[in-house]
Amino acid sequence: MTGVRVAGVGLTQFGRQPERTGRDLFAEAALAAREDAGVPGDEIEEINYGNFMGSLAERQGHQAPLMAEMVGVNCPATRYEEACASAGVAVREAVRTVRSGEADVVLAGGCERMTNLSTAAVTEGLATAADDLYEIRAGITFPSAYALMARAYFDRFGGSREDLAHVAVKNHDNALPNEYAQFHREITVEEALDAPMVADPLGLLDACPVTDGASAVVFVSEEYAEANDLDAPVSVTGSGQGGDNLALQSREHLAVTPATERAASEAYAEAGREPADVDLVEVHDCFTIAEVMAIEGLGFYETGEGIGAARRGETTATGDRPVNLSGGLKAKGHPVGATGGSQIAEMTRLLRGDHPNSDHVSDATVGVTHNAGGTVASAVVHVLEVDR
């Protein structure tokens, strides 16, 4: 098997862009990734495209060949749908394809256009990632689902809304210099605690926003990178995917995420790494409690001990292991089908040294990305390493 290099990455601005189409957004990100990689379009052998709500938000199915057309590439193109982990799965399959030797160049990423819909319509669309029979028909939404998970966590392990507020403050601080982020404003713990309640104990500033945006990554084999003299110092050395029961009622406990644990275990084993080796992390913080459960599931904290990490300063930009230096979903934004690719792009920029927050991790060599679907019924974890 060959090694897998990240040859180039591309992102659009994340935020409210209702006037733009999904095809326009993805084309911008994909063409930027091609330019960053220095790879001709006719050498891209496959496109893996992540998208969740396109059939609802734009009444457009069969999107993958459309996206290939918009990028000016004529090759096999496949759409991957795994709720909020759609692009993470698209990336994972690209990595597996290149590693197996079936292709030397694969473009993977994703897109979501959401703000052209009303908030109620977006909420209804996102809820389809839950169990229709046992959750959606009972009125569950994702804010309420994660509120249940937060309550279960507090009941079992302790913690407070103030602990969660520190997560939000940290991620807003990290987003300030990120040119692609949706939010460029500081918030305080007090503001987070005083924000309107969405689903107790989660307030408005515990939740990620509704976002439009796209991401793209060009993956190449080590042999291709060497033969074409590409500047591609970042490698994907580990990839893992895990699953769990879809409905919360079917799980043993709501405060842990076995899908994350399974995905992380596989990714670490493949990379020959363990949690102690990791310098920085991008996790799926669709809600503040999700970041807490993610850093525990990834093995950085024992279960029940991650709740105070942001408050103690351990996961801040200047902490021992920074989490979500991009701003995370919370402040950078969460265009659902693009997020997994965005995490890879941001981690690549951080490790290469061309991210505005790279100065905080100038000696870092190992990073981990974590992308989750729904209430973490799906999880995808990647280990990235840079040549120093």
Q: Which residues are catalytic?
A: 84, 334
In whole angstroms, what is the distance from residue 315 CA to residue 293 CA?
13
User: Which burial class, exposed, middle or buried, applies to 306 when counting CB atoms under 10 A from its CB (0-12, 13-18, 19+)?
Assistant: buried
Q: Which helix (H) or strand (E) holds 5?
A: strand 4-11
DSSP 210: P
Q: Is the peptide bond before 201 cis (omega within 30 degrees of 0)?
A: yes
Map tokens 């319509």 to a residue: 121
Q: How far, in Å, are 38, 49, 80 from residue 44 at the CA level?
A: 11, 13, 18
Residue 379's SS3 state is strand
Residue 134 CA, chain-centre distance (Å), reads 27
> Closest Cα partner for 228 from 7, 1, 10, 41?
7
The sign of the torsion formed by the CA atoms of 266, 100, 222, 338 equals: negative
Tokens of 132: 């229709």
Buried b (16+ CB within 10 A) or exposed e, 115-133: bbbeeeebeebbbebbbee
State the alpha helices, DSSP H only, in 20-131.
Answer: 22-37, 54-57, 63-71, 86-100, 119-127
Residue 40 CA, chain-centre distance (Å), reads 27
In whole angstroms, what is the distance from residue 330 CA to residue 2 CA?
35
> Closest Cα partner for 38 from 13, 14, 68, 9?
9
